[in-house]
Amino acid sequence: MLTSEDIKLIIEAEKEVFPTKDDFEDLKKLFSSLQTSVDGYAKKADAYYQKMAVLLHKVERLEKWAKEVFEKVGVSFNFN
């Protein structure tokens, strides 16, 4: 038969093995913090890629313009 001391030991052991509601609340806070960090990074990465796309377009436009100028002037130039 179980004694009161045995029951207390089982209850204490259960607290260590199984997560409590407070544990889940802590995990929710940690996850929320992590999610905020990831969202912030994604926003910065998106802005960076957009800037790079604009820069690439600008370089390609300038390269095209330079090729036209070199052709009109009669200068041979290789962009590769």
Q: How confident is the model at residue 64 (pLDDT cuts 50, 70, 90)?
A: very high
Q: For residues 70 and 76, is the Cβ–Cβ distance under 8 A?
A: yes
The pTM assigned to this predicted structure is 0.56
- Local structure of residue 80 (DSSP, 8 states): -
Using only C-alpha atoms, the chain has a radius of gyration, in whole angstroms, of 32
Query: Residue 19's pLDDT is what?
Result: 78
Q: Give the model's pLDDT for residue 12.
A: 82
Does the pLDDT at position 80 exceed 80? no
Single-letter code of the amino acid located at 29: K
Mean pLDDT computed over every residue of the chain: 90
Per DSSP, the residues of 43-77 read: HHHHHHHHHHHHHHHHHHHHHHHHHHHHHHHT---
Confidence bin at 37 (pLDDT 50/70/90): very high
